[in-house]
Structure 1
Amino acid sequence: MGAAVTERTGVVDAHHHVWDLSVRDQDWITGPELAPLRRNFTVEDLEPQARAVGVSRTVLVQTVTVADETPEFLALAETHDLIGGVVGWTDLTGPHAADELARLRELPGGRYLKGIRHQVQGEPDPEWLLRPDVQRGLGAVAAAGLVYDLVVLPHQLPACTKAAAALPGLTFVLDHLGKPPIASGELEPWASDVRALAALPNTVCKLSGMVTETDLTQQRSAQARRREMLPYADTVLDAFGPGRLMFGSDWPVCTLATTYGGVSFMADGLTLGLDSDERAQVFEGTAERVYRL
């Protein structure tokens, strides 16, 4: 078995967020279940927790579809050694997506722009990714040498597969395993749809966001939650392989269920069947390669 995450150095956390509610609201934080997230979360809050479990670099991921957020994140990357890359947002449906990507690259910290993401999970059209205007925008992402993060729900996975097949020159990164129904324990049709996506060589998956897909209304131990997640982790490990899988904390959203150290510990437990080289891919190598850190 490889060393535990807490004993590693050089770990890449490929997925986390920050926000400052005095700058702008996070309008997705609604209801009593998400109430603990309705406060500021900063890089300064994250850094000691990340360093404590061996994380040396992170990928900061967009949270809202607001154009000003991406320049702010790039500036943060310029001033914080912890941040190795940014996955930002721009309007892919507009006619000038390519120009906007080029503009972002010229901003302070622009060299840290590694990918683009849109909250596809909130789009009512399950085939939003296949719209001609979106396809044009995705083509601009590919031409810019960036990757595209997919934040989707299980029913949207077939469209992800079609989009990835239509754009073989663009790397698609599936966030949070496509949000499988871990709380209910159902594997299908999610597992079959994930395997279809993974069959395409230009797809990658993040081992992230799983803990908050468990039943958060029930108090249970970390070991119990890990057992719930194991069939889903095993599915993506088998489908994508360690060379196309990367660890992400999804901090601070993960704090709804556990601490930063807790989510690292769970990820370590979910990969115990891998050898040291394979675990190095999941916890460092895949993210380095995909995001060109």
Structure 2
Amino acid sequence: MPDTHRLIDAHHHLWDLQRRPQPWLDESGHEAIRRNFRVGDLRSAAGRPIAGRRLAATVAVQCVASVPETRDLLALAEAEPLIGAVVGWADLESPAVGEVLDGLLHGPGGRYLRAVRHLVQGESDVGWLQRPAVEAGLREVQARRLGYDVLIRSHQFGQAIRLAERLPGLPLVLDHAGKPPIADDDVSDWERDVRRLASHPQVTCKVSGLVTKADRTAWTVGDIRPVWHVLLDAFGPDRLMFGSDWPVCVLAGGWDRWAAAVEELLAGGTDKDVTAILSGTASAFYGLPDSAATREEDPVPMTERPHADVRADHTRGTR
């Protein structure tokens, strides 16, 4: 199935609370998602197509600072055709991070590890991404031709911008568009910072997690549109990728409601631009195969992954 007919969800989560508790779900306001969510639940939830495209592949993203969770996700990707890539976790400050990454890459499902992530949004250190140990860890990530998912709150952009400046060869993707404060009705500071980050060509951006930064019960497409236009102008469609942030999006209407909003926001775009946002950018960044049928072989060897040489909260519910 070529990219022109595919929909890729570049950001979703899975969890089994009996196997691996998620302490952040104990916080008030998360009651609706305080249960298990598995791949079959995602298939059932993602019933609505976007621009005629139905869900064909996904990127499963870590939730907790846990190497065992990453191993679970990789093993699941090996067995589950829907999952085309995994964003895992490793302790970037550990001197052994390279060995840990190698163990993940050579373990069950290791070929699906395409990026790592840390919950920087929960770090109080305003320079966490610039810690020498963290930067050394990120160089180990880069050396293995993996990408890095940047999860920050809107006031933490300075760290991400400095990271992009210092490691221009590390492919970065901004999760949830940097969490613009849509509910506050003032995104001017966010716009300034997201444009600064977007000026670095190795940075792409996930259009995800926006509805949980708006009024969760009363948001409209009109609330999201100003942010959408900024992202299109700053990154261009070839550096934007659709993500559901499921099941967290259940807190603000669910997968289908967000999918309907995205289709409305895409109205008037060219076929090329729509394809980039709905599949092309994610496929290139995460090295997804063209179809599930190619999973018999490593679809994109690490040394040839498209993003390898790119240069040129749990707050308010998103992770």
Shared fold by TM > 0.5? yes
| Residue in 2 that maps onto 1:46 | 42
| Residue in 1 that maps onto 2:172 | 172
Residues 207, 267 of structure 1: 8 Å contact kept: no
* 1:3-37, Cα deviation, whole Å (9 max, x unpaired): xxxxx841100000000000121111133311111
| Residue in 2 that maps onto 1:274 | 269
Task: For 1:139-154, list aligned pairs within 5 A.
Answer: 139-154=139-154
| Residue in 2 that maps onto 1:286 | 281
The correspondence for 2:253, drawn from 254, 258, 262, is 258
Q: Which amino acid aligns with 1:23?
A: R
Task: For 1:82-231, list aligned pairs within 5 A.
Answer: 82-216=82-216, 219-220=217-218, 224-231=219-226
Q: Which amino acid aligns with 1:58?
A: T
Secondary structure at the aligned position of 2:46 is classed as: helix
Shift of 1:144: 0.6
| Distance in 1 separating the partners of 2:111 and 2:18 | 27
Segment of structure 1 superposing worse, 224-233 or 168-177: 224-233
Shift of 1:127: 1.5
Secondary structure at the aligned position of 2:30 is classed as: helix
| Distance in 2 separating the partners of 1:119 and 1:197 | 19
* 1:55-85, Cα deviation, whole Å (9 max, x unpaired): 1000000000012100000011011100000
The correspondence for 2:8, drawn from 6, 12, 29, is 12
| Distance in 2 separating the partners of 1:143 and 1:30 | 37
| Distance in 1 separating the partners of 2:139 and 2:65 | 19
Residues 126, 155 of structure 1: 8 Å contact kept: no
1:37 to 2:33 alignment? yes
Shift of 1:51: 5.9
1:239 to 2:234 alignment? yes
Residues 22, 64 of structure 2: 8 Å contact kept: yes
Shift of 1:52: 4.8
- Figure out how many residues of one structure are paired with residues of the other and give that number: 281
* 1:69-106, Cα deviation, whole Å (9 max, x unpaired): 00000011011100000000000000011111111011
| Residue in 2 that maps onto 1:24 | 20
Secondary structure at the aligned position of 2:93 is classed as: coil
- What is the aligned-residue RMSD (CA, Å)? 1.2
| Distance in 2 separating the partners of 1:86 and 1:145 | 14
- Structure 1: state its 5+ residue gaps: 1-7
| Distance in 1 separating the partners of 2:130 and 2:171 | 16
- Structure 2: state its 5+ residue gaps: 289-319
Q: Which amino acid aligns with 2:242?
A: F
| Distance in 2 separating the partners of 1:63 and 1:42 | 14
Residues 48, 259 of structure 2: 8 Å contact kept: no
